Amino acid sequence: MVLNRRRKTLRLTGFDYHTPGAYFVTICTFERRPVLGIVGDEGVVLSEAGLMVAKAWAAIPNTCHGARLDEFAVMPNHLHGLLLLHTEPVTDGSKAGPVLALPDVIQRFKSWTTTRYRKMCEDHLALKAAHRLWQRSYHERVIRSERELAAVREYIALNPGRWQHDSEFAR
């Protein structure tokens, strides 16, 4: 007997993820390990891996045509970010590349950071067994109003202060 091992999709059925708009994304580390930093009295203190992840997230507009960033926070075992997909008019005579869909942007980000993380693990004896950085998939929510956008911005900004009380993440 062959079992169907396809994972249930978390994406909205029939939704076109090339659609310009705002998307709230949460990406968790593998087994929710706190490899990206720690939360102290002054907020999040990022590890070497956390700094690399923050720089990679900040570079998304440079590497993914049609993507802009809004609020984001790197936490010890996850990242929250608001991505804005848009269509860019070409004004300098150059040929614009295709605007990437949200799953393509996230795949590029996760692939690039995983490659860098594996290199870090090879360079640090203490991290030898920790080659996986991200869990499979990610959670996303399509932002549908200015009110929802403001609420998500506030949620991301306040996330470090809620860390000690968040049973989902603080482990």
- Secondary structure (3-state) at 29: strand
> What is residue 73's DSSP assignment?
E
* Cα–Cα nearest to 119, from 128, 107, 108: 128
In the prediction, which pLDDT does 87 show? 72
CB atoms within 10 A of CB 98: 9
Q: Residue 101 and residue 147: Cα distance in Å, rounded?
A: 24
| Predicted structure pTM score | 0.83
Q: What is the per-residue DSSP string for 87-127?
A: PPPP-SSPPPPPPPPHHHHHHHHHHHHHHHHHHHHHH-GGG
Pairing of β 139-143 and β 37-40: unpaired
Can you give the length of the chain in residues? 171
Examine residue 141 and state whether it is found in any structural domain, yes or no: yes
Full domain range(s) for residue 79: 21-85+97-163
Domain count, the chain: 1
- Can you give the pLDDT of all 171 residues of the chain as single tens digits? 455 555 555 566 677 788 889 999 999 999 999 999 998 888 899 999 999 999 999 999 998 888 999 999 999 999 999 999 987 655 555 555 567 899 999 999 999 999 999 888 877 665 555 678 999 999 999 999 999 999 999 999 998 888 776 655 555
DSSP H or E segment with residue 21: strand 21-28
Examine residue 114 and state whether it is found in any structural domain, yes or no: yes
Examine residue 169 and state whether it is found in any structural domain, yes or no: no
CATH number at residue 111: 3.30.70.1290
